[in-house]
Amino acid sequence: MTNDNNPRGNSHGMIAVDKMGGKVLFLNPDTYATEVVIDGFPRTVHELLLVPETGNSAAMAYVPIFGDGIHGRNPNPQHELCVFDLARRAHVATIDLRPYIAPHTLKLGPDGLIYITCENSAVVAVIDRSANKVVEAIDSGSTNGHRLIIAPDGKRLYTENEEDGTVSVIDLPARKLLGKIKTPRPLAGIAISPDGGTVIAVDDAQPTLFLIDTEAGFVREELPLKDVPKAAQIARYAPDNSLIAVTSLNSDTVSLIDPSFKAQSAIKVGSQPMDMAFRGDELFIACQADGSVHIIDIPNKRAKGSFKAGTGCESLGFF
């Protein structure tokens, strides 16, 4: 389970990464009241991965400590990945990633290992969850890799390299860089279609998505975002792959796009929307500049409410 995977709508709890407040919050999934606040982290908590209970392993959450800057301007990069027990709602371990620094996006691989971009080191670090340690690092061939995505079949990992304007292609089983795909402009986010045939790379300069043919290895189409005046940030498929949601931090919108890319609807939300969490027919948007979380009614393509959570959350998840 990642932070967007709760297709049935049932949940025991909700977790939010309050980037602006430097805290991790546990919320009531029905009333959205904040029930537990965990703080004392170096700046800054960033992003989120949820891993469900499996066998003898409890359900856990992983939150990187990125540093006090932003991508490309992070003068004091950190090197930690914090581990939370979801049942206990407690911070239970901290993984030291050194020598790799500025950890950012992380995904669970098909092998049960965690793969995380370490921006300032331009690598994807590989983490053994059972030992809570780095076991390998894969060169991303970038100046500093930003976000990553893993193909549904587990054969390829793609990093989005923001300033470079490239997407790195990594053979995941071999843990080897295969090459890079050039995009016309710098990038901000990345997603992949359920058949693995299309990588969606978010344009960081214009309100556009680059649709990359993974077999051919090039951008086959530039898709303008309708009614979105400024560049977008994060793209995320619904758990059932029925739509793609794209937030625009600079436009205060989320776009709901059908999987064929033929129809899209932009919906106004709070200030500086970032990451999202799906639950049933609802989409929750974390808006980091005003401390709000907006709830989208997906079937009716409209905002249906909002609530406050922390100072300014970047990432959310249900468990």
Q: What is the DSSP string of 131-200?
A: TTEEEEEEE--SSS--EEEE-TTSSEEEEEETTTTEEEEEETTTTEEEEEEE-SS-EEEEEE-TTSSEEE
- Whether 71 has a pLDDT exceeding 80, the answer reads no
pLDDT tens column, 32-49: 999 999 999 998 999 999
Both tokens of 228, joined, read 């979105």
Query: For the chain, what is the mean pLDDT?
Result: 94
> Domain map of the chain by residue range?
14-231+311-318
The letter for the amino acid at 7 is P
Q: Residue 293: name the closest of 12, 17, 6 by CA.
A: 17
pLDDT tens column, 250-297: 999 999 999 999 999 999 999 999 999 999 999 999 999 999 999 999
Ranges assigned E (strand) in 97-140 = 103-108, 114-118, 123-128, 133-139
pLDDT tens column, 88-122: 999 999 999 999 999 999 999 999 999 999 998 99
- What CATH number does domain 14-231+311-318 carry, 2.130.10.10, 3.40.50.720, 3.20.20.70, 3.40.1160.10? 2.130.10.10
pLDDT of 54 reads 80
- 67 pLDDT tier (thresholds 50, 70, 90): confident
d(Cα 89, Cα 147) in Å, to the nearest integer?
27
pTM of the model: 0.94
pLDDT tens column, 171-204: 999 999 999 999 999 999 999 999 999 999 999 9
Calculate the alpha carbon distances from 198 to 220, 266, 278 in Å.
9, 22, 21
Cβ neighbourhood burial of 31 (10 Å; 0-12, 13-18, 19+): exposed
Q: Residue 119: name the closest of 132, 104, 138 by CA.
A: 104
